[in-house]
Structure 1
């Protein structure tokens, strides 16, 4: 067992950390795009939801970064009521949370080996999060949207933190258990139910007959304004249009560089559906999008948008499509698997 001292460093600017080592830890632990310095820099500069302060936690040993965690001090820690719904009290006030509510894959990226050592490092991060929250005057310290089975949940339970399932996320594996992968969109369609498969193929034919085209391209401000408008109009049906403020949305996505692409469905000069997808080494994330019509000329622009996103992920040899949270009927029809997400919150006063 190593006798070298593990230390914790905290800064409020991503560029004040060793971003080379930060990215190495994120890559080695297969953390999603939300943990890349590019994403964190974009969110710090153009936050989609205002925060009081950012805290970037790094755990090091002998100059080598072992674990990282971005967290945010928020005026209101439970904007969607997820924590209140499972009986976690005190989350309405200031809270220090990792990651943020726009990330549906919260984890503590760590490259320590061996379960005992990993648990020690994870415990160090949780202790630091709790102490930082107290120093910041936050009522709540915790992690949100942690996937079921993540080892940090067991460490939190051992420390007496409240751990509870809050919402479900959906993933589409583009590989088999034996390591094989879909070699085409048609091979993926063959795995779906007959009715869904028939509907998608019918929509693709009708859209082609109507002169509809699809494209995947790098973000541009003018294009992002269209995507943002469609996203807000669609999100308004569910009371969440405020998640995508116009100026911050455009600036945030532009700052992501190669980590973002725009997928669009057009008929002539009209964009019928569009989305921003996020990219990392293993995943295509269906991040934010919307459509102008539920159905049009006998087809659904949204189904075409999904088809283009999934086809793109297959062609780019991604291992997963991340479907985000909610809308279970649509996602399960497309072969996505549910994964429960948990919150773990430090005990009050602890």
Structure 2
């Protein structure tokens, strides 16, 4: 086996890259199109980006994007867990917009990749390198632990398994189930319409502005940078499903959702609560997200991070996410 490093995802054949991503069951964040879109329209400032490919002969058996970043902390979690990294350049995989870190691989390559990671971090002038948003107990987590690398907790992401909408509702508490159904009725009475669109047919500039305003309201300003978010989403192509919720033609909620083989990711959203009527536009958006995931045949709803009270109440369970950083 040999480990190759490329300065750009564009240098790597998409079919080669995706063959590993799909065979390993890695999430949408590792698709060639996603990594390329992030390179084209980075949602966080990075000093440099590149990619590892591990080959057995000519066959790719592992892939990994990496990013050299100094301002790496739009949600503040990383510097809370690792205060000693503030202001230091870090070589990370993946970016914070990926909340489910993996090493897509069809062979046991983690020791080789860690060696290559160490060398690349030194060459690029990083003070630390490693992984963020590693689900505690998954294959990557176990491999890093076996290598003697300690983890520090960052945050949680929220997810649930899906079959049918009625089965999903049946798992909720009586109050949450009643609230969702009542909210649907009130929204319909208030003239709310819902439309699911491909990225190139959605009002992305309007949606990006709403996402930016929502992030600012929750003190995560800069997480969805306006025009860059529009460019990024357009570059994702058919990985994206956009949900628009409107009242009297005014956008009151929107979701930018991503899908892979089995998972539906409610990746980004924006909500305007100044509505006409006694309904929650966020509740409408969430309910439609569950229904859309089921219509698309996805068996897992990934609800992302934050808003834990709502997500727990609506049947999602926490997945503990850790960071594993190594000083160069």
1:277 & 1:233 partners in 2: Cα distance?
Answer: 18
CA contact (8 A) 2:157 2:305 kept: yes
Structure 2: runs of 5 or more not aligned: none
How big is each residue's C-alpha offset from its partner over 1:300-346, in whole Å with a ceiling of 9 and x where there is no partner?
01100001111000111101111111211111111111100111112
Q: Secondary structure at the match of 2:110?
A: helix
Q: Are residues 1:60 and 2:83 paired?
A: no
2:267 & 2:122 partners in 1: Cα distance?
Answer: 33
| Aligned equivalent of 1:42, options 24, 37, 47 | 37
Distance 1:330 1:295, change over 3 A: farther
TM-score (norm 2): 0.95
Q: Match for residue 186 of structure 2?
A: 206
Structure 1: runs of 5 or more not aligned: 1-5, 113-117, 175-180
| Aligned equivalent of 2:112, options 124, 135, 146 | 124
Q: Secondary structure at the match of 2:266?
A: strand
How big is each residue's C-alpha offset from its partner over 1:73-107, in whole Å with a ceiling of 9 and x where there is no partner?
11234443323323462353111000111100111
| Aligned equivalent of 2:238, options 258, 272, 295 | 258
Q: Secondary structure at the match of 2:65?
A: strand
| Aligned equivalent of 1:246, options 226, 231, 248 | 226
Q: Match for residue 178 of structure 1?
A: none
Q: Secondary structure at the match of 2:102?
A: coil
Q: Are residues 1:20 and 2:20 paired?
A: no
Q: Over aligned residues, Cα RMSD in angstroms?
A: 1.6
Q: Match for residue 94 of structure 1?
A: 89
Q: Match for residue 252 of structure 2?
A: 272
* Number of corresponding residues: 328
| Aligned equivalent of 1:312, options 292, 299, 303 | 292
CA contact (8 A) 2:208 2:227 kept: no
1:143 & 1:16 partners in 2: Cα distance?
Answer: 23
CA contact (8 A) 2:49 2:67 kept: yes
2:92 & 2:182 partners in 1: Cα distance?
Answer: 45
